[in-house]
Amino acid sequence: MTKSFNIVLAGVGGQGTLLAGKLFGLIAAKMGLDVKVSEVHGMAQRGGSVITYVRIGERVYSPVIEPGAADFILAFEELEGMRWAHLLRRGGTLLINMRRTMPMPVAMGQAEYPDNIIESILALSEGGTSVYALDAQKLAEEAGSVKAVNFVMTGAMSHFIDIDKALFYEAINDLFSGKKAALAEMNQRAFDLGSAIIEAK
């Protein structure tokens, strides 16, 4: 079993990239592994770009993931997937949510949203990268809340790593400890839907 992972969580403010980073931190702790989580965000509350680095291993010294070193990129939004794709290593896996969140300049008519983002990212597979595009927002809505996109994406990633899903469930319960049990259950459903959609591909 590989006990070293470099994970990039890329999205915009409000999509839960930071919470997903905490989830992986809890899982690493349960596995007895070292973990470093680094959060970089601009106008997170205004739909600005948010990126979270998660490094898990026997011993991790730096939280930063250099270009070409990420094993996984979970892109919660199309443009953010293209923006951070250079961080992925050759042979890595990129999971992208096929939904767009318009940045402020686009919403104000000062810029245009790039065309053919998904096509451009899928072309990366020709270089040895595994790319999976999914409608995580639709699956999150099926689970009970559009805010569960982050758990759909982590569920999708779980298909590619040898970590017992029970650990993910435990970590989700821990994240929502003291809150309504229904919230943890809903996010577990989102996780399962994300995992299932990849298994079906």
Mean pLDDT of 17-31: 94
Distance CA 92, CA 71 (A): 5
Point out which residues pair with 134 in neighbouring strands.
Answer: 97
Residue 51 in tokens: 């990126």
pLDDT at 135 (0 to 100): 96
Q: What is the pLDDT of residues 155-180, one digit of tens each?
A: 999 999 989 999 999 999 999 987 77
Residues in Cβ contact with 32 at an 8 Å cutoff, skipping those fewer than 6 apart:
none
Which of 13-22, 147-156, 177-186 shows the highest mean pLDDT?
A: 147-156
Q: What is the CATH number of the domain that holds 110?
A: 3.40.920.10
Mean pLDDT of 70-85: 93
Point out which residues pair with 9 in neighbouring strands.
Answer: 52, 74
pLDDT, mean over the chain: 88
pLDDT band with cut points at 50, 70 and 90 for residue 47: low
The neighbour count for residue 135, using CB atoms within 10 Å, is: 14
First and final CA of the chain: distance in angstroms? 23
Considering its fold, how many domains does the chain have in total? 1
Distance CA 199, CA 26 (A): 25
Tell me the backbone φ, ψ of residue 51, rounded to 5 degrees.
-130, 135
Task: Estimate the crossing angle of helix 17-30 against helix 165-175, to 10 degrees.
Answer: 120
Q: pTM above the 0.85 mark? A: yes
Domain hosting residue 152, numbered range = 5-199
The closest alpha carbon to 95, from 152, 143, 55, belongs to: 152
Q: Report whether 184 contacts 176 (CB < 8 A).
A: yes
pLDDT at 60 over 90: yes
